[in-house]
Amino acid sequence: MKFNIFRPLLLIFLLSSILLHFLYASGSEISLDDQSQLNEGVTNNFCSITQYIPENRDTEFKALYEYIRKNYPRVSEDDAQDISTCLVDLSAEHQLDPKFVAALIAKESAFNKQAISSTGAKGLGQIKDFNFKALDISNPYDIKENSNGTIRYIKQLLNSWKGKTDQVAFALASYFRGYTNMKRNESSYDSKSDRYVNDTLKIYNKLVEHLKKVKESQPEPIFTPTSNITAEPDIPTSPVEPDTAPVPDVETEN
């Protein structure tokens, strides 16, 4: 009886496949230490995500618009403009970085406003029907309504994990898995959620880098006097009083 070398090789292959499936199955959990290592270098901008202060609306808009048009060519010019406008304006109302919300939407729907998942999630942020009422969504395919709902929902999740070291990561995992599922085990989350978190944060970092390039490409403002007329020497000029009006507080989601 001849020895068939292919049989043991086939057995080894099958056993390896089973082992890999076991290691990378969706139910496998990753410890917080592993998560920190995987997210290292990606989560540098957490503070700016949750305590966002707008710098220049037009620059933010340009960065988002260019990124969408370059990386998602199926999105029409008009939709890219509307999405960028809504994200910049609505995110600022909730003190959220629009690039973070854009990264979330990029992962969820690739900026396809008509997207529908196999589980019935709809629109840019892939929001489920049972959340429409709480998020004031009547038409999930409307760019403004869905963008606003997505912003409000992720803001609520960020607030729910406030004080946690991996606040942003757990908020994203909750968006993917559901907040109730995440609360069952607050020390870790499964590998599918981890990939989702890392993919989203990598997109966010790309948007941050693109914004820097947009800023660098803009010429420095040149000071030009508004008038060549000087005051008469016998008429003293008064110094301009500084604007001392208080800055109004921006309301945030509770």
Which residues are designated catalytic? 108
Q: How crowded is the C-beta side of 180, counted as CA atoms within 13 Å?
A: 0
Backbone angles phi, psi at 152, to 5 degrees: -65, -40
Q: What angle do CA 99, 102, 108 make, to 5 degrees?
A: 145
| Cα-based torsion angle of the residue sequence 184, 188, 190, 196 in order, rounded to the nearest 10 degrees | 110
- 């270098």: which residue's tokens? 41
- Are 178 and 44 a contacting pair, CB within 8 Å? no
Q: Which is it for the CA torsion 52, 55, 60, 63, positive or negative?
A: negative
C-alpha–C-alpha distance, residues 52 and 115, integer Å:
28
Q: Read off the tokens for 130.
A: 């049972």
- Which of 51, 153, 53 lies closest to 108, judged by CA? 153
C-alpha–C-alpha distance, residues 25 and 38, integer Å:
17
| DSSP-based three-state secondary structure for 161 | coil
